């Protein structure tokens, strides 16, 4: 099939899939990021923490996750959203387990150390915003980032379900479940790119189906989104 007659699959399917996976990754990451705070009462009673010690324990992952977004945002510009989501979730999973080990052993010092690195999970916000923006036209980016932002509800899910899961299945099993969820979503997010994304990056590919006979400003402004696996922005 010649370049002039090649058919590009409907990009809107890819947009929806990428948005859904980004939102899922964001929610799971934020659940892991907030896994200490819902168990604050447990840690306070177990370790005899003062109010200040408890506040510090809860605040450290939040602080690291907030400031770390500066770095992860810059890295996302360089390496792409799919890779960064995958790396950050895989990097966070061991610290979910290590927090459980420290908490079970009653070590406040180790909780602070592992909680510091658990803050990595909170940096995914800076990955998702440019990732989602790259996939959507200007007139739909507000909606798309709004949907993605709903993934912040992972903190609410953590606050509600984490203490209950500890009651239902146990403290260690709860942390193992969240760590496993991070790994599963990371693996899903890194699963191969679609043929139509590769087609868009190949020589002679036709323009975006919504752009007419010539490349539109919106499509030309999103090179990372259309790139092949060397610039892994796509989950579609």
In a domain, 234, yes or no: no
Q: What is the structure's pLDDT at 108?
A: 97
Q: How many CA atoms lie within 13 A of 120 on its CB side?
A: 18
In a domain, 81, yes or no: yes
Q: What is the extent of the structural domain holding 30?
A: 11-192
In a domain, 229, yes or no: no
Q: What is the structure's pLDDT at 216?
A: 34
What SS3 string covers 52-92? HHHHHHHHHHHHHHHHHHHHHHHHHHHHCHHHHHHHHHHHH
Q: What is the structure's pLDDT at 58?
A: 96
In a domain, 232, yes or no: no
In a domain, 149, yes or no: yes
DSSP state, 159?
H
For residue 34, give the CATH number of its domain.
Answer: 1.20.1250.20
In a domain, 39, yes or no: yes
Return all residues near 158 (Cβ < 8 A) that are at least 6 apart: 30, 31, 32, 33, 34, 35, 37, 38
Q: What is the structure's pLDDT at 13?
A: 60
In a domain, 228, yes or no: no
Question: Cβ–Cβ contacts within 10 Å for residue 203, how many?
Answer: 5
| Site of tokens 């809860």 | 58
Report the number of distinct structural domains present in the chain.
1
Each residue's pLDDT expressed in tens, for the chain with a length of 236 residues: 444 444 444 556 678 888 888 999 999 999 999 999 999 999 999 999 999 999 999 999 999 999 999 999 999 999 988 889 999 999 999 999 999 999 999 999 999 999 999 999 999 999 999 888 888 888 889 999 999 999 999 999 999 999 999 999 999 999 999 999 999 999 988 774 333 344 344 443 334 433 333 333 344 444 443 333 334 445 54
Q: What is the structure's pLDDT at 81?
A: 85
In a domain, 44, yes or no: yes
């Amino acid at each position: 099939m010649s370049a002039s007659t090649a058919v590009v699959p409907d990009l809107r399917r890819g947009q929806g899939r990428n948005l859904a996976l980004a939102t899922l990754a964001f929610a799971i990451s934020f659940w892991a990021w907030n896994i200490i705070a819902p168990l604050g009462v447990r840690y306070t009673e177990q370790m005899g923490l003062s109010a200040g010690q408890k506040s510090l324990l809860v605040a450290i992952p939040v602080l690291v996750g907030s400031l770390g977004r500066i770095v992860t945002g810059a890295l996302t510009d360089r390496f792409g959203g799919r890779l960064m989501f995958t790396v950050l979730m895989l990097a966070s999973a061991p610290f979910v387990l290590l927090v459980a080990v420290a908490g079970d052993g009653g070590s406040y010092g180790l909780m602070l150390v592992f909680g510091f690195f658990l803050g990595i999970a909170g940096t995914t916000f800076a990955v998702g915003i440019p990732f989602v923006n790259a996939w959507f036209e200007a007139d739909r980016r507000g909606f798309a980032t709004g949907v993605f932002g709903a993934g912040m509800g992972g903190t609410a899910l953590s606050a509600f379900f984490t203490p209950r899961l500890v009651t239902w299945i146990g403290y260690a099993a709860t942390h193992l479940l969240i760590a496993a969820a991070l790994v599963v979503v990371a693996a899903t997010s890194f699963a191969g790119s679609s043929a139509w994304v590769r087609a868009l990056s190949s020589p002679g590919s036709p323009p975006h189906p919504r752009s007419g006979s010539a490349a539109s400003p919106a499509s030309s402004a999103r090179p990372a989104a259309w790139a092949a696996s060397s610039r892994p922005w796509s989950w579609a």
